[in-house]
Structure 1
Amino acid sequence: MKTTDRGILSNYDLKKPGNKIVYYLMTLIVLVMVCSMLYPMIIIFFNGVKLNTEVNSFPPTFLPSEWHFENYHKAWIYIKLPLFVRNTLYIFAGNMAMTILVVGFAAFSLSKMNVPYKKVIQYFFLLTLFIPPTTYIIPNFINLRDLGLMNTFWALWLPAGANAFYLLLLKSFFDGINIEMFESGRIDGASEPRLFFQIAFPLSIPIFATLAIFVFSTAWNDWYWPQLILSSDQRYPLATAIYKYVVNVRRLDLNLKFAILSMITFPPVLVFLFFQKYIVRGLHLGGVKG
């Protein structure tokens, strides 16, 4: 006999007129939200396969009269997309390494080690979440300049190791792991780094997978901070290059702009759709205990 999970409303509940009206109203609201989110992406794609004259025509048309997929080839050779994608992946890899090593070790220390005043430290990191990020852009810039890290990937990697939100999320997850496993490891002579890599990290793959998606999204979309500290095409990430060489360029045809934007819009969406179960699961598990 086939069994199905019961939803919020059963078939009996839907027979009531009041519940049925609310249900259809909620469904309509969800459909409107889905359409409002998909519409810009569809417009970007359609404008990317139109002629430039059709993109600039008024009144605007939704579907292209002719499909010109050669626009994507022209867009591909206009800008060095492979170079900028490679730089973005370098930034993502470095930021993820800093998240695992620095933020992961800090969260593990606050959760499973006898750190003095750990509650005070935890509340201090919690308070930093209320500080607007724009207030420490200039201090970070000055510090990196004095360290001689301008126009290097380290200027992006080092700040990734000071993310208070990731630290508190990881600590909350580590708090849910049984302390007896770590005590058994210490009795066997295991060091704290070994306990982290052989016990805590393997058990925390869901939360680290969730953080990987967040880190990837930040590396893919962030353009302002890299624009401040990087000054070379060999270092620019994708978002900064698109802002400088596509969005701010007036002589570039609009259909080529839309073609480039569509090529960089869909990959993160596909990554999110593929890994969305890790986001939900990781945030759920990370919020079990605090």
Structure 2
Amino acid sequence: MKSVTERGILSRYDTRRKANWIGFFLVLCVIILMVFTMLYPILFTFFNSFKGLVEINSFPPHLLPQDWHWENFREGWQYLNLPHFLGNTLAIFAGNMVATMFVLGLASFSMSRLSYPYRKAVYFFFLLTLFIPPSTYIVPNFVNLKDLGLLNTFWAFWLPAGASAFYLLLLKSFFDSLHLELFEAARIDGASEWRSFLQIALPLSAPIMSTLAIFVFASAWNDWFWPSLVMHGDPKYPLATAIYKKVVSGSVTGLKLNVKFAILSMVMLPPIAVFLIFQRFIIRGLHLGGVKG
């Protein structure tokens, strides 16, 4: 029996046409250019962290260091209290994740499984908020947190984390895909909606929660603007804000350029490692929680 092979981008007939090869070559060149423009800043920062101060200011510049100065990382670690700011970032991530799991999880479960008036209107209201630029509600959020006395506390991050319309709709779409018979059987056995959420919906949502955990981690790790508004002083700064104010800002003096690159490399590598390790969960979770028409 003749084996059946899947058709690729170019079939055996297509490869005989010169015009197709030209188009394929142009697409390949564009992809290589995109990869280069994405990787070059990362490699430039990483290799500069190993250079000496004279070599990093030399002209013409070169990518690879001639002498590897590992002491730059030790100086950067001593200059900036990275464990303290890392702890603040992880505290923000943990609180944001709890708000995502329970506040947004319960809201999306209610929208998916409970019957209430104007369900579609409520759904389209949350969908509409995705088209509002985030910069328009920075000032209202700041004023509300100030009136509540929550500035310079981690609640300034945890409360807004429970109002993400994108995560809400992503979770709702996932809960819509769960079999209704599971929850009907739980109701027959006397389980409440709260118990159905904790013992059925939440354990089954582990794939989409894993994806959201990566998104929440990336947001907590990279955000520096909002913390610079609501946090006042070093003890409460997350890592990204501390890096901006103490390393990237032009007001910083006395810090050598190669040590700056060493600090940036130490901060840059963990999220890259997290993405490379858990990238399959991102794709799988988005597939499971994709919005269905």
CA contact (8 A) 1:48 1:71 kept: yes
RMSD over aligned Cα atoms: 1.8
Residue 54 of structure 1 is matched in structure 2 by 55
Q: Return the match for 1:266 from 252, 264, 269.
A: 269
Amino acid at match of 2:266: M
Residue 100 of structure 2 is matched in structure 1 by 99
1:148 Cα deviation from its structure 2 partner? 1.4
CA contact (8 A) 1:109 1:115 kept: no
Is 1:233 the counterpart of 2:234 in the alignment?
yes
CA contact (8 A) 1:224 1:240 kept: yes
CA contact (8 A) 1:175 1:289 kept: no
1:7 Cα deviation from its structure 2 partner? 3.4
| Secondary structure at 1:127 match in 2 | helix
Residue 222 of structure 1 is matched in structure 2 by 223
Change (3 A) 1:78 1:110: same
Residue by residue, what CA displacement relative to the aligned partner does 1:198-244 show, whole Å, maximum 9, x if unpaired? 22122222211111111001000000111111113222110000011
Residue 143 of structure 2 is matched in structure 1 by 142
Change (3 A) 1:46 1:105: same
1:135 Cα deviation from its structure 2 partner? 1.3
Q: Return the match for 2:258 from 237, 248, 255.
A: 255
Residue ranges of structure 1 left out of the alignment (5+ in a row): none
Separation in structure 2 between the aligned mates of residue 125 and residue 104 of structure 1, nearest angstrom: 14
| Secondary structure at 2:31 match in 1 | helix
Residue 123 of structure 1 is matched in structure 2 by 124
Is 1:37 the counterpart of 2:38 in the alignment?
yes
Separation in structure 2 between the aligned mates of residue 198 and residue 113 of structure 1, nearest angstrom: 17
Amino acid at match of 1:8: I
Is 1:284 the counterpart of 2:287 in the alignment?
yes
Stretch deviating more after TM superposition (203-212 or 66-75): 203-212
| Secondary structure at 1:234 match in 2 | helix
Is 1:19 the counterpart of 2:33 in the alignment?
no
Give percent identity, aligned residues only: 61
CA contact (8 A) 1:108 1:171 kept: yes
| Secondary structure at 2:149 match in 1 | coil
How many residue pairs get matched? Answer: 290
Residue 206 of structure 1 is matched in structure 2 by 207
Separation in structure 2 between the aligned mates of residue 216 and residue 238 of structure 1, nearest angstrom: 12
TM superposition score normalised by structure 1: 0.94
1:124 Cα deviation from its structure 2 partner? 0.8
| Secondary structure at 2:265 match in 1 | helix
Separation in structure 1 between the aligned mates of residue 147 and residue 248 of structure 2, nearest angstrom: 32
Separation in structure 2 between the aligned mates of residue 11 and residue 70 of structure 1, nearest angstrom: 56
CA contact (8 A) 2:170 2:291 kept: no
1:19 Cα deviation from its structure 2 partner? 2.7
